[in-house]
Amino acid sequence: PARYPRVISTWNFGDAANQGAWKLLAQGGSALDAVERGVMVTESDPANHSVGLGGYPDRDGHVTLDASIMNGNGDCGAVAALRDIAHPIAVARAVMEKSPHVLLVGDGALRFALAHGFKRSRLAITPDAEAAWRTWLKSSRYQPHANSEESGYGLGGHRGDIHNHDTIGMLAIDARGQLAGACTTSGMAWKLAGRVGDSPIIGAGLYVDNEVGAATSTGVGEEVIRSAGSFLVVELMRQGRSPTEACREAVARIVRKRPGLRNDDTQVAFIAINRTGETGAWAIRPGFEYAACDEGDRHRLIKSSAML
Ligand code: SD4
């Protein structure tokens, strides 16, 4: 049976984002508007160290943001390595709707944003992000191991940042059965300047197709780009897999091709929804969960299964 409207988001902080999306979905709003509004909640949260304002910086101390948005009809837009804009997801949507392009990066993305009325808001690195960066500078060791419960490492190899700090990926199906998705992040902490992750790459961090379903990812973006992960999940659903099975198979393929991942603490997780509103997830390692919201239950947190 069809189960929509419905919205799901990565991690426990996805619950607050879902509530932002739900305000629109409950009134018959579009999935596209809902996911944009929803992830903005997370972008505005200074306590989240890998999305928006509170993001951890790159090695040079600059916060740079990646975001993408996609509609079920194939329309999409994205920005990467964007500085000084509080809501990269809204700029991604403007790229989709007001430019002939899909992806704008760096300075060009910033100029496009300013030309379309977005305000420059110095992404002054927040005091605790700055303190974390200064601590990191002492060792300057880059360990891109994200959010593994067993290791206790968060982004950038920081003990203690287990659940709270990660990319938000959100997928929604509206009352008319239309799908959309959004993904936004400050990327991996202490990344090289210019590094772009999976989140703004359509097909890697996000993919949506009204005929089938939608998927988005979190974790070490390099592994997701290599595997065209979110596209893979959607294509597996197209072949008849459930959202859970599709996410599991995509994770299994990543680990099969990169056996070394078994021995470090790299985390990658996918969430997916199909066009009937059924949802699922899978992760490389334990510790991942996602938030789901629909009429029956506005605040569900669902633990993902893991491969290792
Ligand atoms: C990236 N996938 O830039 C994002 C960040 C993330 O856990 O989700 N880290 O690679």
The answer, yes or no, to whether residue 230 has pLDDT greater than 60, is yes
Ligand 1 pocket, residues with Cβ under 6 angstroms:
50, 146-147, 155, 166-167, 185, 187-188, 197-199, 218-221
ipTM of the complex: 0.97
Question: Smallest Cα–Cα separation from 73: which of 177, 144, 156?
Answer: 177
152 annotated to bind ligand:
no
Q: Range with the lowest mean pLDDT among 116-120, 178-182, 188-192, 249-253?
A: 188-192
**Rounded average pLDDT over 136-162:** 53
Which pLDDT value is given to residue 143?
A: 66
Query: Ligand 1: which of 58, 149, 185 to mutate, most ligand atoms within 8 Å of CB?
Result: 185
Please write the tens of the pLDDT for every residue from 203-223.
999 999 999 999 999 999 999
Neighbours of 138 (CB within 10 A): 7
Q: Ligand 1: which atom is nearest the Cα of residue 196?
A: 3
Instruction: Indicate the pLDDT class of residue 52, thresholds 50, 70 and 90.
Output: low
276 is in an annotated binding site: no
- Name the burial class of residue 159, with classes exposed (0-12), middle (13-18) and buried (19+) by CB atoms within 10 angstroms of its CB: exposed
Active site residue 276: no
Residue-wise pLDDT tens digits, 278-298:
999 999 999 999 999 999 999
Annotated binding residue 219: yes
Residue bearing the bigger pLDDT, 123 or 266: 266
Q: What pLDDT band is residue 157 in, cutting at 50, 70 and 90?
A: very low
pLDDT at position 51? 67
Pairing of strands 206-209, 213-219: antiparallel
Q: Is the pLDDT of residue 272 over 90?
A: yes
* Per-residue CA distances from 94 to 19, 78, 86 (Å): 23, 9, 14
Bridge partners for 214 per DSSP = 208, 273
Mean pLDDT for all residues in the chain: 90
